[in-house]
Structure formats: structure tokens, C-alpha cells
Amino acid sequence: APPPAQKQDDKAVRRVPFSKGEMELSFAPLVKETAPAVVNVYASSRVHVRSPFMDDPFFERFFGQRMPPRVQSSLGSGVIVDPSGIIVTNYHVIRGADEVKVALSDGREFESKILLKDARVDLAVLKIQGKEPFPVIPLGDSDALEVGDLVLAIGNPFGVGQTTTSGIVSALARTHIGVSDFGFYIQTDAAINPGNSGGALINMKGQLVGINSAIYSQSGGSVGIGFAIPSNMVRAFVASAKSGSGFFETPYIGAEFQDIDAQEANALGLDRPKGALVASLAKDAPAAKAGLKVGDVVLSVDGTPVSDSDALNYRISTQAIGTTVTLEIYRQGAKQTLHVTLERAPAGESATETTISGDSPFAGAKVAALSPRLAERLGMSMNSTGVVVVDVTPNSPADSVGFQPKDIVKEVNGTAIGSAEDLQKAAASKTRWWRFTLQRGGQTIKQVIRY
């Protein structure tokens, strides 16, 4: 006879099947319950193609500078998480979209409104209006998952229609996979393919435990290595969208962390590389006020071990502002406990965001003076200063030139840029030749272009 389960509630979730009858059990009831809340997301954008002859005055005079726009489309999936019509999908599914349509499994189609989007976490929240209540998948606790748990992935791969695949949780807390700034993922071998992005990863209780986001593949198809954003991050993101915030505001701890390699672990007296090393602290920030010091190693948050800096940032980012967290730290050979109250990052002065207008290479770039709050929002170093590109309007001149969020503009045509107003004035210059200096990813870029 099979051994009894440890917990009565988990019998149906974590028990190996021992008989032929149990092996023949079907996922059908679970799929019928959850699949109606998984939707298809169709995003389209009008792309203005720049004429190859635009710099020739003859062609410019007779034909103008713009060619007719063409429409680009993308296809993905989404999950209804609130009966009022709130849908979660991936940011990369709707990036640059002028129009986003949602199709339900019952055939109904809706125009949607984007409530919140953020490239850092690769999430977006949409809202549809219609006859309520809509079917939903309740949010589960992704921290309760264990490697080996059964999961289902539901989405619309390759646009063939709603498809369900099954698998297990292959790994937890996957970091450094290069998908987004918040590198902390559930890994599954359930088949995930293009078009599944934004779809549901559900557990055997019919709860959403992840949003399918990426695959590791050299062919473009599934090879059994898929990644999903944990539902606890989704929960925090949806809460931010419901609050009406224009961006995903994460708590501010006022410290920067780095990973620990084997050599550093040995020098610190650790038995192996683990935790996150405190690299720098902001004055009068929550971490400093709680007693954290440069050189400390954070080992856990509220009792949950952290393997590296990405795992620590995830644990902090999924907390609510005002929450007090307990950090276990390692300092000079001994473990200590600190209590840190997470705050809202300081807004700073001159934090107004300005979208550059006119006819220049900068047109369409939204810029602002860096502050701790803006640096936190963009995932930049808290010590960064200057005028930063916050966002770039798709298909704008700034987009076509190649400006990216987090670019810091230092100089334009010999004029130092110290504020958003400085950049707007510089962009109003009547010239065809542009010389500018940027900082991108710690590197200085000098560029001269004719526009």
C-alpha cells in the first residue's frame, strides 16, 4: 500500500501514482475549469518606414520624408485574473502596439486598454469591457511549488489555437537567464512554444503559479526547457496596476548587491558561494538605518534562502512598500538578524518626465533627471546621475536612431545636458548634423549622424 501523505490537503497534489487506475487519471476536469480564462492576445502597430531618399532635397520636395506605414502584428496569450476583465500577459507580446485585441475561448473578441506595462519584469496588464463576470484563474503561491510538482501550460502556440501541455516543475529560482531585469523564473518541461508567451502555468489545484515567458531553444521550438514568471511577482504587478500607478513601483532598500563566486566565498569564510554581497549603501536609506554594512552577505529574506543578487532583488521586489523584512546576514564569520522596513524611493528634484518633440533624432524619447526612485524603477545603479531616457516611442525618430531606455544623454552638439529642458532646447536646433555623447551600460558612446 502507498505511504500516507504528510498533509491531507496535498494528497491530490504531491503523491506518486501507484496503480494502473491512478495512472489513467485525466487532466480534463482541471483543463475545463481553467482554460476559459486563457485568452489570445493580438497586438498590431503601424510602422513608418523611413525613405532611403529622404536626405535628397529633390525627393524630399516632391515625395516628402515618410513612406506609407505598414502594419506589424504579434500573437501571444494572456490570463484573466480578475472577473472584471483584468488580463496579464507578457510585455514583449504588446510592446509598441497601437492596438491590442483579446479573443476569449468562447469566440468573443474585445478591444483592450493597457493599464500597466514594464519591460523590466516582462509583464503587462490589460483591461477589457464586457458582460461580467469573466472566467478567471485564481493566483496561487509560487513559493509553495516544489521541484517535481505537476503543472499544465495553456496558451496559443504558433497561432494554431488553444493548446494544453503537461509537465513538471524542473527547477525553481532560475536566475541569470537573460530574459528580463528581474531574473527569477520557474523552469518547466511542459512544452512551451512561440505564441505561448503570456499564457498560464497552473498547478493541480487549478491555480495560476506562473506566466509562461521564454524558452531555451536553438531551433525555435520547445526542447523541454521553458521559463515562467512566478505568480507572486504577477500578484505584486497586478496590485500596482489596480492602484492606478503609471509604473511598477518596487520597494526601496537603498543597497546594491553582487553575486559571490567561489574565490570570494572562501575569502569571506563561507562554505560555498551563496547569498548576495552588499556592494554599496545609500545614506539614510532603509538598509543603512537597519544596520546593514558594505561587505555583509545577505543569506535569507524572511527565512527564505537567497542564492544570489537576482534572487534577493526578487524577494525584495515582491514585498509591499512599508513592509518590514527580516534579513539573515553573515558578517565577519558570524550570522546576525536585521529588520529592514522597506520604503518608497525618494523622488528627487526635477523628476518631471518630458517627451522630446519636434524634428530631431531625439523626438519620441521620454527623458527625465535621474533620482533614486527613477533609478529603482529603471533598474539602474542608485548612484547614477544625469538625464536618462525613460522610454522610447516605437517607430519614432529616437527609436529609428537606436536610443534605448536607460541611456544617459551627456552632451548634444557641444552643449552639456543637465536637465530635460536642456535636451529639449538642444533638440530644437536647426541643423542636419548631430553630434552627441551617451552613457550606456557603463560605456561612453560618441556618435555623429546626419538627420
Give the residue numbers marked as catalytic. Answer: 92, 122, 197
Q: Cα separations (Å) of 28 from 20, 58, 261?
A: 18, 66, 46
What is the chain's Cα-based Rg? 25
CA distance linking residue 391 with residue 95, whole number of Å: 12
CB 183 within 8 A of CB 177: yes
Considering only CA atoms, which of 361, 317, 323 is closest in space to residue 342? 323
Could you give the angle at the alpha carbon of 99 between the alpha carbons of 95 and 101, nearest 5°?
100
Considering only CA atoms, which of 404, 354, 355, 410 is closest in space to residue 379? 404
SS3 28: helix
In this structure, the number of other CB atoms found within 10 A of the CB of residue 295 comes to: 12
Q: Cα separations (Å) of 136 from 38, 153, 159, 386, 424?
A: 8, 15, 22, 44, 46
CA distance linking residue 171 with residue 224, whole number of Å: 12
Cell 480534463, located at residue: 28
Cis peptide before 133 (omega within 30 of 0): yes
CA distance linking residue 221 with residue 69, whole number of Å: 31
SS3 300: strand
Query: H or E element: which one contains 327?
Result: strand 324-331
DSSP 161: -
SS3 286: helix
Q: Where are the alpha helices (DSSP H) in 7-56?
A: 20-23, 28-34
In this structure, the number of other CB atoms found within 10 A of the CB of residue 70 comes to: 10
DSSP bridge pairs for 116: 125
CB 182 within 8 A of CB 310: yes
Backbone φ/ψ region at 364: left (φ over 0), alpha (ψ -120 to 50), beta: left
In this structure, the number of other CB atoms found within 10 A of the CB of residue 49 comes to: 12
